[in-house]
Amino acid sequence: MSAEPILPSLTPPAWEDIFGNANPVEVEIGPGKGAFLLAAAQSTPEHNFFGVEFSRRRVYRIKELIEREQPGNVLALAADIGCVLNTLIRPESVTVFHLYFPDPWWKRRHHRRRLFRGDFCVALTRALVPGGKILIATDVQTYFVEMVKQLEAVPELAQFPWQRDQRNRNGKLILTDFERQFMDAGKPIYYAGFRKKA
Ligand SMILES: C[S@@+](CC[C@H](N)C(=O)[O-])C[C@H]1O[C@@H](n2cnc3c(N)ncnc32)[C@H](O)[C@@H]1O
């Protein structure tokens, strides 16, 4: 007797059905309070922006910002990106993944809670369109080295030189909340960009 699956397999929705247009989609993982997500969406209206944030409280805050600013090209979902990557996002459908200041989970016994483990980088790569990008930033050098090592291990990815350069209408760099704090405090920040080979 063959075992029946507990759940039927789900077909991820098309971004077009979510946003109502076929524009490229950028996903921010863990947008926190949403400063980067909102500003990036406003500065790039020809793209759609999708934030996946674990903290429901922070997503409520982002939703308040969306209601206030009415950008029209940004949505936020309260969920775990690991689950979302495996169920909601179609292969080859995301143009950019933004992953800024992921929780380092300092204690060794907590490392299993880190995003960068298992097949996370493979799942990100699968979701990228050919030529799509993964952009990372952190203030934690040891975690940065580990993240780069895991991304380098994916044969479909190639690292490219990347530095934060996106500016808003007033010419100010678009930063995350953590990034602004660390910059103001003069702390080093480590950046890396990876592109999926076409
Ligand atoms: C250190 S904060 C950085 C927030 C923001 N990126 C910034 O730079 O200001 C990390 C964020 O990632 C979120 N997060 C952690 N694990 C997550 C997961 N598995 N899926 C989605 N979001 C997650 C946390 O709730 C938190 O808001």
For the segment 85-107, what is each residue's pLDDT rounded down to a tens digit? 989 999 999 999 999 999 988 87
CA distance 116 to 108: 14
Interval 30-37 mean pLDDT: 98
CA distance 185 to 170: 23
Question: Which class for 163: exposed (0-12), middle (13-18), buried (19 or more C-beta within 10 A)?
Answer: exposed
Pocket test for ligand 1, best of 27, 36, 52, 54 (most atoms within 8 A of CB): 54
User: pLDDT band for position 114 (50/70/90)?
Assistant: confident
The residue whose C-alpha atom lies closest to atom 3 belonging to ligand 1 is 101
CA distance 141 to 138: 7
Sheet holding 94-100, edge to edge: 74-78, 48-53, 25-29, 94-100, 128-138, 190-196, 157-160
Does domain 23-196 fall into CATH 3.40.50.970? no
Domain ranges of the chain: 23-196
Listed in sequence order, the residues at least 6 apart from 177 whose beta carbon sits closer than 8 Å to its beta carbon are 32, 33, 35, 36
CA of 41 to the centre of ligand 1 (A): 18
Using CA atoms, how far residue 79 sits from 23, 48, 75, in Å, is 23, 18, 13
Q: What is the pTM of this model?
A: 0.95
Is it the case that residue 39 has pLDDT exceeding 60? Answer: yes
Using alpha carbons, select from 183, 162, 23, 13 the residue that is nearest to residue 98.
162
Is it the case that residue 43 has pLDDT exceeding 90? Answer: yes
CA of 1 to the centre of ligand 1 (A): 44
* Residue 113, SS3 per DSSP: helix
Q: Is the CB of 32 under 6 A from ligand 1?
A: yes
Tens-place pLDDT, residues 55-80: 999 999 999 999 999 999 999 999 99
Q: Which residues are annotated as catalytic?
A: 103
**What's the mean per-residue pLDDT of the chain?**
94
